[in-house]
Amino acid sequence: MVKKIVIALAGLLVAGVISRYYFVKKEVWVGDDAEDISFIDRRNQSRNLYEFGGKYVILSFWGSWCGPCRTSNQKLVEFYSQQDTARLKIISVGIEKTTSAWNTAIREDSLYWDEQFTPLDMFNNEIAKSYGVNETPTYFLINPAQVVISKSGNIDAIIQKFQAMN
């Protein structure tokens, strides 16, 4: 009887692991290949993450409603203005409900790069889910081989990692 219970429990454990593997979207971790994302940029052009292969990419998840995001945007603008954009790109993903506040924040924070978009469903969009983003700000540094080399809620940590790589 005990043997049957142990076998049944082992079967349930294996079934749980298999179902998690097949039915739960994998979160991106440091060391993983970056998940490709497709988006329409600020110039209404169809873009994707993989087109920036050969460059470093900072993938920035932020919200117009998020005070720490807005403070970090100032640092990000200052840092990016000093970089060679042939070697580094920023892709900003707005975690938003409406475009009006997002557009106002972009203008107020002087976010001048075109690679920005918002899926307009807060954290319930496929991109946030695939990257495991459930808070803002969240940043990923992706290397030219499209591998995630850093993840942080602190833009200073991402900038320091980029500077250490160059």
Could you give the residue ranges of the DSSP H alpha helices within 24-146?
67-81, 99-108, 126-131
How do the domains of the chain map onto residue ranges? 26-165
What's the rounded Cα separation, in Å, for the pair 86 and 98? 32
Whole-model pTM: value is 0.83
SS3 92: strand
Residue 25: per-residue pLDDT: 47
Residue 89: per-residue pLDDT: 97
Task: Report the chain (166 residues): mean pLDDT per 10 consecutive residues.
Answer: 56 47 62 94 94 97 97 97 95 95 96 93 87 95 97 97 92
Residue 2: per-residue pLDDT: 60
Q: Is CATH 2.40.170.20 the right assignment for the domain spanning 26-165?
A: no
